Structure 1
């Protein structure tokens, strides 16, 4: 999970560095880098390339593209650490969607923890350093659709191979990003080509090692380690991009992480 957190943090940081390019072009290259791994692996696994639950796979792909695009767009307005922290509010929306669509119950203590996490969002917006409303809008929208993704994947369950689910997402991102970026295309330099492709590589290995972590150990042990990504991105943001995080921003991030990590503990303890 530590390797996964590092990979996702590096992916987000490279995307932040490439934010001078149009977001659609970034989405396109993000998908290319991952498809280089997923397509051969799906073919090697000899599973149905387009899956069986096509409706839910398409919904997962579309919501994934929206969430990814909104997150990348938010990096044009927010520091990398703040954006990643705010996107981690997704479990709140996932729990609410699961309550209505999957009839999963939410304990009173979980509502309190969600409130604490959301209070962190309000503190960051109200007292954080240079938190633009447009950036906040995009990253919360990204978190909402990420919450939908969690519920859709739960709905799909074990009926589809994980690689097929990822492949659907990346193929749709490739199509959407490719078509939308035609109008805004800028020719990357050699270094920028490498960085663009690296976003997909980092994204793939982040997903791979996260999956391996959940397969190797209990969820309540490894899941909180995923939030190490926030710490890593704050460090990268400070030294690479010169981001400044005041005390209020750090307090907001702490409330978000505390509320969501303890929620994982409570949820797993009751299962």
Structure 2
């Protein structure tokens, strides 16, 4: 999950850099880049592309695509800090879904850790309440759907290879966004081609390692590690965009890390 968080942070930076492109075109290139990895791997390893749990694979793909489009759309309407902060409520929704769907037990103290981790995210990225509208709705819905994705991957379990799960998601995203982006297509120039294709590479590694994490560990343990992506995104922002961060932001990172460590300790002792 930590490797996944790093990869998704790179994806966030790429999306920010390519802000002039429509959300469907960004999703299209992200999916295209990932498919360069998934199909050759499945063919080489002779892994059935169709998979075993077809209905769950399709449902996970649909829910994941909706979550991705909603999040990228929220980035168009909100400041990056607001959109990212809201999206990180996802592990909390994942824990709730897991409680009812997977019957996973959650200790009361873990809810406190989830809350403090999210407070840390708010301290790090901040909220802009100057306007509250559709962008906030998109970000919140994205968080809900992302939480459900975590649980669906857990339901699929080891019945299907992680690459099959990712390939389903990227194939659906490629087909749907490919049709939707035709109307809004902007021809990339120079380095923009490479940047757009790199979204698929970072998205691929983020997706495959997140899938492995969710298949091999309980949702309540690995889902909160998604918060680490915020720290990675902050570091990348400093390096590439020369962003500055306040003392409050640094304290937010510390609070996130402490909350994650305590949550892991509680789960291991249960």
TM-score, reference length from structure 2: 0.82
Report if the CA contact (8 A) 1:77-1:132 is conserved.
no
Counterparts of 1:136 and 1:268, CA distance in 2:
35
Answer with 54-63 or 206-215: which moved more.
206-215
- Change over 3 Å in CA distance of 1:202–1:154 after alignment to 2: same
Answer with 223-232 or 206-215: which moved more.
206-215
- For 2:76, what is the secondary structure of its paired residue? coil
Counterparts of 2:38 and 2:149, CA distance in 1:
19
Report if the CA contact (8 A) 2:162-2:212 is conserved.
no
* 1:1-271 equivalences in 2 (<5 Å): 4-78=4-78, 80=80, 83-120=83-120, 128=127, 133=132, 134-208=134-208, 227-241=227-241, 243=243, 245-246=245-246, 255-256=255-256, 258-270=258-270
> What is the CA-CA distance between 1:24 and the residue it aligns to?
0.5
- Change over 3 Å in CA distance of 1:237–1:145 after alignment to 2: same
Counterparts of 1:229 and 1:152, CA distance in 2:
21
- Change over 3 Å in CA distance of 1:109–1:228 after alignment to 2: closer
Answer with 238-247 or 56-65: which moved more.
238-247
Unpaired segments ≥5 residues, structure 1: none
Answer with 158-167 or 82-91: which moved more.
82-91
> What is the CA-CA distance between 1:98 and the residue it aligns to?
1.0
- Change over 3 Å in CA distance of 1:167–1:214 after alignment to 2: closer
Report if the CA contact (8 A) 1:81-1:237 is conserved.
no
> What is the CA-CA distance between 1:124 and the residue it aligns to?
7.4
Report if the CA contact (8 A) 2:153-2:211 is conserved.
no
> What is the CA-CA distance between 1:123 and the residue it aligns to?
6.3
Unpaired segments ≥5 residues, structure 2: none
> What is the CA-CA distance between 1:157 and the residue it aligns to?
1.1
Counterparts of 1:249 and 1:193, CA distance in 2:
33
Counterparts of 1:221 and 1:120, CA distance in 2:
18
Counterparts of 2:203 and 2:213, CA distance in 1:
15
> What is the CA-CA distance between 1:268 and the residue it aligns to?
2.9
CA RMSD of aligned residues (A): 3.6
> What is the CA-CA distance between 1:97 and the residue it aligns to?
0.5
Counterparts of 1:211 and 1:28, CA distance in 2:
20
> What is the CA-CA distance between 1:2 and the residue it aligns to?
6.3
Counterparts of 2:157 and 2:3, CA distance in 1:
25
- For 1:183, what is the secondary structure of its paired residue? helix
Report if the CA contact (8 A) 2:88-2:118 is conserved.
no
Report if the CA contact (8 A) 1:97-1:147 is conserved.
yes
Counterparts of 1:214 and 1:92, CA distance in 2:
15
